[in-house]
Amino acid sequence: MNKNKRKEIIIIGVLILLMIVIIVGTSYAAFRYGGIGSTENSITSGAITMKYTETSNGITLNGALPTTDKTGTVRLTPGEYFDFNISSTITGNTNINYEISAKKEDGNTIDGKYIKLYLTKVNSDGTEEALMVPEVYSEETSANTYTGRPENEMSLYTSSMNSSENNNYRLRMYVDESYNPQGDGGGLTFTVKINVYGKAGDKYVPLTTQKILEDNELQEEKENMFNYASNGNYYDASTRNTLNNPEYVTNGLYSTEDEDGISYYYRGAVDNNNVQFGEYASNYYVYDSGVYYYQSLESCENANAENVGNCTQVKLASAGDKMYWRIVRVNGDGSLRLIYNGTSVNPDNSDLSNSFAVGISPYNLEFNDPKYSGYTYDNGTDSFIKKEVDTWYKNALGNTSYDSKVIGGRFCSDSSGYKPASEYGFSGMDGINVFASYDRLGQANNNYAKPNSPTLKCPSTSESYGGSYRLKVGLITADELVLAGENYSVAGNDYLSDSNLIYWTMTPSQFISSNFPWYGGYVMYNFSMSNVTYIRPVINVTTDNGFTSGDGTASNPYVIE
């Protein structure tokens, strides 16, 4: 083989997973999902081997009702999941781009829109890492030339390897709760084949990432840079005043590591990270209670008994209004992390419809226990803010063609390190418990006994609330605010700041008699979760086609179609 010739497909491993959905009578669904395994190996050189194997367990569910994501994504009894393994032996500098995908078989008699697939990676300690959000069966219309996946298959997960690895994966598939078996006649089937493709070559770098790196000179982080806002402001705890150090004015594109590789983040008063993506398909309304603006009449009335009969419909956006975003960072997996910026490039934030927000709500309706600071709590119960964010996404983007560009990205509600503030070395905070994020990001209140140290790697937590998620939509983290140029208790001038509005993060900060999550805006601080605070959704977008136009400036924003 010519060593200069690009190596082509290394291996296509096929796991044939059969799912037979049988509707019994008119009251419940029973289905079997079994594994018919085969493994095909193709080696392009003695330096590279990639192998796929399946375990002996198949999936067999009898008398199972259509189920919720909360239930379907955690099933662990025998017959309710399917495990398989991807391993590689690599020497030298070779990289393998690979992809796990699903392909429905012929003869299915139940629509794939009622069948959900969910893939996780099983770690050595038995814990699972979500690799996707639960998604109904939906095929890609174009092939992936980097991995070898053909068109008309559903992509479940894409990654790369440049060293020898041994990874275990777990697949679950279930009937979505939206399916109603009443009167369907029974005997319905749905069969998928799980394919794994791989190619040797340079690690895939999206065209969007290439464009951003071309348009920005990469800056170097300064020592102790995160003790300062990007305009050089910092809080002096001894005098309780805001001071300024002009040597720490920092603007531009920087890099750090996240859980998927190198992440490139924007910091400071930049104006070349504007994106137009999506538009409102119809008039969009929120519900005004006199204080808050909710995403539905139901949530408005459920939030407070006094709201019943007193929620007024207010138009947030008109049909055809385009959605504008700011790029927070390029994720390590190449996707773009975007934060909502309203229906214009430069909203004046004079009222909700002219702002960078989609609503105003409390973080949670209960706040007398630390668990209510989690984006979810009690091992999966959604917080009020999560319900609001999810409702906006479902109604504004989830039912449009733009949804296919939004991936199940990583989000973090860091509930780790919960303990008395004194144990972190903070004085004058008797009776106050704080989370690890306060120690990481609130050192201004400790006279910078150690530097602030934001992270894009979600710390592990043993709590039943918060943690690491794969979501279609979420909120920004307090760590991302600090990276962007905000800092504790001082006014900044970064691209996320505004002199009028503050907005929620998904990062717990402290607990006294109620919870105080972090917020961002004209100043970074922490607020009681019952306070009047705005909602700015965050999504992760990927596209193989790059930006269709624009240079990221307010006058000519990047466009993703």
Q: Over pLDDT 70: what percentage of the chain?
A: 88
pTM of the model: 0.89
Q: Over pLDDT 90: what percentage of the chain?
A: 64
At 2 the pLDDT is: 39
186 vs 30: CA distance, rounded Å? 10
547 vs 35: CA distance, rounded Å? 41
- Residues 6+ away with beta carbon under 8 Å from 142: 151, 544
At 87 the pLDDT is: 82
Pairing of strands 274-279, 558-559: parallel
Which amino acid, one-letter code, is at 116? K
| DSSP H or E segment with residue 82 | strand 82-90
* Digit-coded pLDDT (tens) for 50-108: 666 666 555 554 445 788 999 999 988 776 788 888 888 877 777 888 899 888 878 77
pLDDT band at 531 (very low <50, low <70, confident <90, very high): confident
> Is the per-residue pLDDT at 456 higher than 60?
yes
Radius of gyration of the chain (CA): 24
- Residue whose pair of structure tokens reads 């394919």 in the numeric block: 195
Which DSSP category does 139 fall into?
-
pLDDT band at 187 (very low <50, low <70, confident <90, very high): low
* Digit-coded pLDDT (tens) for 132-185: 999 999 999 889 988 889 999 999 999 888 888 888 999 898 889 988 887 776
Tell me, rounded to whole angstroms, the distance of Cα 451 from its chain centroid: 27
**96 or 290: which carries more pLDDT confidence?**
290
- Cβ atoms of 275 and 212 within 8 Å: the answer is no
Which amino acid, one-letter code, is at 431? G
Ranges of each domain in the chain? 9-200, 216-545
Greatest CA separation for the chain? 76
Segment 177-202 mean pLDDT: 79
At 129 the pLDDT is: 93
> Is the per-residue pLDDT at 380 higher than 70?
yes
- Cβ atoms of 507 and 437 within 8 Å: the answer is yes
- Phi first, then psi: give them for residue 492, nearest 5 degrees: -115, 180
- Cβ atoms of 476 and 536 within 8 Å: the answer is yes
pLDDT band at 513 (very low <50, low <70, confident <90, very high): confident
Residues in the chain: 561
* Digit-coded pLDDT (tens) for 224-251: 999 999 999 999 988 889 999 999 999 9
